[in-house]
Amino acid sequence: MSFATYSCTSIKGNQENESTNIAGKFKASNDVVPEQLTYAGFLKNVWNFEKSPKQWIYEGDEPSVIDFYADWCGPCKRVVPIMDEMAKKYEGKVKFYKVNVDKESKLASVFAIRSIPAVLFIPQKGKPMMQVGLLPHDTYVRIIDEQLLHKKPQTKKQ
């Protein structure tokens, strides 16, 4: 299987002059959407790397997905509706977050993020996995189902 990935490679720079923030662009008032994650929120809800810098200790109570993005990044804008849909689909099973790399550059540096979008998939137990670039919708679903929820892959009928 092959597919193209699209990403933005400059974390600071190449910003478009855009007045709207993509993080809230598609949100309706009562929709379930990924939660904006700050540095302090990351330490509390995901991994307190200040307390345990050499050991991954997941702080969450369910698997999670973190979308590292920037408002000026075109491929990041295409990930927003996918993550919004996933947040609804997996509500109560997987927690969805988003991190603006321009506002939370220290978090981006912890994961050595040089290209966005970058999506971190965190299982309840085990090590997190990072995928960089815009991936097809079905790939996000497959990763969540197989790696986070441990569902067996569906075989296609011939």
81-137 pLDDT, tens digit per residue, is 999 999 999 999 999 999 999 999 999 999 999 999 999 999 999 999 999 999 999
Average pLDDT, stretch 7-15?
Answer: 42
Q: What's the mean pLDDT in 3-16?
A: 42
* Per-domain boundaries in the chain: 30-148
| Mean pLDDT, range 49-56, rounded to an integer | 93
Whole-number percent of the chain with pLDDT over 70: 78
Residue 58's alpha-carbon distances to 6, 18, 40, 112, in angstroms, are 29, 35, 15, 19
Residue 8 is a catalytic residue:
no
User: Residue 49 has what DSSP assignment?
Assistant: T
Which listed residue (8, 11, 76, 79) is catalytic?
A: 76
**Who has greater pLDDT, 68 or 18?**
68
| CATH 3.40.30.10 for the 30-148 domain, yes or no | yes
Higher per-residue pLDDT: 135 or 24: 135
Band of pLDDT at residue 16, cut at 50, 70 and 90: very low
Does the predicted TM-score (pTM) go above 0.85? no
Which one of 66, 73, 87, 101 is the catalytic residue?
Answer: 73
